[in-house]
């Protein structure tokens, strides 16, 4: 599933093409993706100008001139492509802008993505956004807030960091990398990692710092290459952060840390693969 760095890469790709453009035609090729398209979706979009394109966590937010926000979630395999004619089997939504001078297509062969539209003034009540926690690389994300959000959680620290109410935007790949760099076992409960003291301990401080660092590095290189991740111009040669994986997808390989002869293990937590070094992450 595209995580925050991949969605940010898509957002940055869309901005120069669609920001400032007017939606002139909408063609929905099916009634639903993961969920049905909203009622009056086409009518609300048509004629509206995209004033800017934002992102919150893993959601793309197209801010419209008519007071609405058009939201897109990529799910597992969603792809936005600009300049496409949209004739593929899985091209489920086709859009024209500026009287056909520009086009964009949303493609999703597994249809786990979805779109919504809501009044921008009501964003704080929007069900997909209202419960999101603070986002890395923002002023709202502090080490004290991270400690507070993890306090007394009995779930493994890996699962706790995937909880979008604790930190928004993190996914399986990056949490494995964050915990490895922080030298924290993914098996430990969040409460054990936080500890009983009111002070921020070294483990939480490392997790906080490495969360920002890993996400910043991933955004800088276009995220991580996953099977269906494409840039908005159709390019697949993105996601160079995969070349920097220290544990993810390295099961059975030797740990890259100097003087560590451990081998990377893979376990399953909450239905997802976790990769870690049992020697570095005791």
Domain 4-125: which topology? N-terminal domain of MutM-like DNA repair proteins (3.20.190)
User: Smallest Cα–Cα separation from 127: which of 170, 71, 45?
Assistant: 71
pLDDT at site 243: 78
Q: Can you tell me the distance from the alpha carbon of 23 to that of 213, in angstroms, rounded to the nearest whole number?
A: 37
Q: 231 or 29: whose pLDDT is higher?
A: 29
Q: Which residue's structure tokens are 């159709």?
A: 234
The region of weakest confidence among 11-20, 35-44, 228-237 is 228-237
Q: Can you tell me the distance from the alpha carbon of 260 to that of 156, in angstroms, rounded to the nearest whole number?
A: 24
How many other C-beta atoms are found inside a 10 Å radius of the C-beta of residue 156?
22
Q: How large is the average pLDDT for residues 235-242?
A: 60
Beta bridge partners of 59: 56, 73
Please, which pLDDT band fits residue 152 given cuts at 50, 70 and 90? confident
Q: Please, are residues 24 and 103 in contact by the beta-carbon 8 Å criterion?
A: no
Q: Domain extents for the chain?
A: 4-125, 143-276
| Three-class DSSP category at 186 | coil
Please, which pLDDT band fits residue 223 given cuts at 50, 70 and 90? confident
Q: Taking the alpha carbons of 224, 278, 270, 184 in that order, is the dihedral positive or negative?
A: negative
Residues classed as catalytic: 2-3, 58, 272
Q: Please, are residues 31 and 114 in contact by the beta-carbon 8 Å criterion?
A: no
Q: What is the dihedral of CA 267, 270, 276, 279, to 10 degrees?
A: -80
Average pLDDT, the chain: 93
pLDDT at site 233: 61
Cα separations in angstroms, 190 against 57, 148, 153, 156: 22, 11, 5, 6
The class that CATH gives domain 143-276 is mainly alpha
Q: Can you tell me the distance from the alpha carbon of 79 to that of 59, in angstroms, rounded to the nearest whole number?
A: 13
Q: Give percent above pLDDT 70 in the chain.
A: 94
**138: pLDDT strictly greater than 80:** yes
């Amino acid at each position: 599933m595209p995580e925050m760095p991949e969605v940010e890469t898509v957002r940055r790709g869309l901005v120069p093409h669609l920001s400032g453009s007017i939606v002139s035609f909408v063609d929905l090729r099916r009634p639903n993706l993961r969920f049905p398209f909203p009622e009056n979706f086409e009518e609300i979009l048509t004629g509206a100008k995209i004033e800017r394109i934002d992102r919150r966590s893993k959601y793309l937010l197209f801010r419209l001139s008519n007071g609405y926000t058009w939201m897109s979630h990529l799910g597992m395999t969603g792809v936005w492509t600009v300049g496409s004619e949209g004739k593929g089997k899985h091209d489920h939504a086709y859009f024209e802008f500026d009287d056909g001078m520009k086009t964009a297509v949303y493609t999703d062969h597994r249809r786990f993505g979805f779109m919504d539209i809501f009044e921008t003034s009501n964003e704080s009540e929007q069900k997909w956004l209202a419960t999101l926690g603070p986002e890395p690389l923002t002023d709202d994300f502090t080490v004290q807030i991270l400690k507070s959000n993890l306090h007394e959680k009995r779930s493994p620290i890996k699962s706790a960091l995937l909880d979008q109410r604790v930190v928004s935007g993190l996914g399986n790949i990056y949490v494995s990398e964050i915990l490895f760099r922080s030298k924290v076992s993914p098996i430990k409960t969040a409460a054990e990692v936080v500890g009983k003291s009111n002070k921020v301990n070294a483990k939480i401080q490392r997790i906080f710092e490495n969360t920002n660092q890993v996400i910043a590095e991933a955004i800088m290189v276009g995220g991580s290459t996953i099977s269906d991740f494409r840039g908005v111009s159709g390019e697949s040669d993105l996601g160079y952060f995969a070349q920097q994986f220290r544990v993810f997808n390295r099961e059975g390989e030797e740990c890259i840390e100097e003087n560590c002869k451990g081998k990377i293990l893979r376990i399953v937590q909450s239905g997802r693969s976790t990769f870690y070094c049992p020697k570095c992450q005791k």
